[in-house]
Structure 1
Amino acid sequence: MNLSAFISHLIREGQVTVADTIHPFSTQEIQDTATVLHQYYENDILDMPGTAPAFDEKAAMWAAIYIYRAVQLAMLRQLGEEQIKILLTPYPDAITPEAIYGADLCLRYLPDLVSLSKGLSPDDPLVQHLKETAAVWPFSSTGMNIPVTAVLDHILAHPSLLQAYADRIIASRDTDRCRIPAVKEAVKASLGNYTDILWPDFKQFISDTNQYL
């Protein structure tokens, strides 16, 4: 399955296959994937609160390739740590609201990929690498129970990202993400009068954290 077909199946079905050999992506594959990602973005923003960040094709493409290669590496575990470093390169540009959302179109599947990799040893270099990437992209990794290493300024300053981030935290019951005051307030506002229904344990978390203020 080539890259554009991989992304299409990932979006529509959540089930994918990848080539069993590592090969460079052709120019046509890249162009076709860019088209798929842009269409995906246009559909996805309809569900985003407020005004979503503009489409960042470079970030979206980087994440698409990252997820494809990560699936390949999960299947081809004979490939060593050196290949992981070569194939799963960090995002090379500045992380902006546009990059966060563009990359999220594919990185939102990173928690599922880590779950699928649980058959591997927790110390497996691939598992460790995926978790490190997830920590750098907190918007896409709620519910993974990992410490966030990224600065959240771009999420906190962008109303659409912040609301979506709060909603994801609620959906995944990711209490640790609420230890940042601005995030906790966004979650509280999003819950409104429905805390008892949407997240009953959140009231206890608020009570516990207030003891230390």
Structure 2
Amino acid sequence: MNLSAFITHLVREGQVTVASNIHLFSPQELQNTIVVLQEYYDNDIQDMPGTAPAFDSNAALWAARYIYRAVQLAMLRQLGEEEITTLLLPYDQPVTAATIYGADLCLRYLPDLLSLSKGLSPEDPLVKHLQETAKQWPFSSTGINIPATQGIDIIVSNPSLLQTYVDRIIATRDTGRCNVQPVLAAVKASLGNYAEVLWPDFKLPEL
């Protein structure tokens, strides 16, 4: 399955198939994937609160490639740490609100991928690499009990991202992500008088 078809199946069906061998993505394949991601973005922003960040094709394509390769590596566990480092390259451009949202179109499936990797040893280099990526992209990784290490200030400064982030924290009851004052305040505001319904055990210390 090529990259654009992979993204289409991931979004529409939640099921994916990847090639059993590592291959380079052709320029046409990458261009086709950007078209699919743009369509995905256009549909997704309809559910975003307020004004969603603009489409960042570079971040979206990077994340699509990252998730594809991560699935391949989960299947091909004979590949070692060198291949993981080579195939799962970090994002190397400045991170903005648009970057976070663009990457999230595919990185939001990272928690599912980590869940599928539970059969691997916690010390497996692929698991450790995915966990590190989850720390670096907190908007896409709520609910997996992994602390955020960067990007929170950008999320907080964008009302659309912040509200979506808060909604995800509440949905996954991710107490650990409430250790930043603006995030905690937004969580409390969203819960309002319905904390006992939306998050019955919501008991957090004041920051």
Q: How does the TM-score come out when normalised to structure 2?
A: 0.98
- Name 1:120's counterpart in structure 2: 120
Report deviation, 1:151.
3.9
Question: Aligned residues: percent identity?
Answer: 71
1:149 counterpart = 2:149: yes
- Name 1:53's counterpart in structure 2: 53
- Name 1:175's counterpart in structure 2: 175
In angstroms, what is the RMSD of aligned CA positions?
A: 0.8
Amino acid at match of 1:168: R
Q: Which runs of 5+ in 2 are unaligned?
A: none
- Name 2:26's counterpart in structure 1: 26
Equivalent residue runs for 1:1-213 within 5 Å: 1-202=1-202, 204-205=203-204, 209-210=205-206
Report deviation, 1:22.
0.2
Work out the CA distance in 1 between the residues paired with 2:194 and 2:149.
Answer: 31
User: Secondary structure at the residue paired with 1:185?
Assistant: helix
Report deviation, 1:192.
1.5
Deviations 1:166-188 (A, max 9, x none): 00000000001111111000101
Change beyond 3 A, Cα 1:151–1:102: closer
Q: How does the TM-score come out when normalised to structure 1?
A: 0.96
Structure 1 residue ranges (4+ consecutive) displaced by more than 2 angstroms after TM superposition: none
Work out the CA distance in 2 between the residues paired with 1:74 and 1:28.
Answer: 26
| Greater CA drift, 148-157 or 102-111 | 148-157
Report deviation, 1:191.
1.1
Work out the CA distance in 2 between the residues paired with 1:121 and 1:176.
Answer: 24
Amino acid at match of 2:65: I
Deviations 1:115-157 (A, max 9, x none): 0011110100000000000000000000010121114111000
Work out the CA distance in 2 between the residues paired with 1:153 and 1:184.
Answer: 13
Work out the CA distance in 2 between the residues paired with 1:110 and 1:135.
Answer: 11
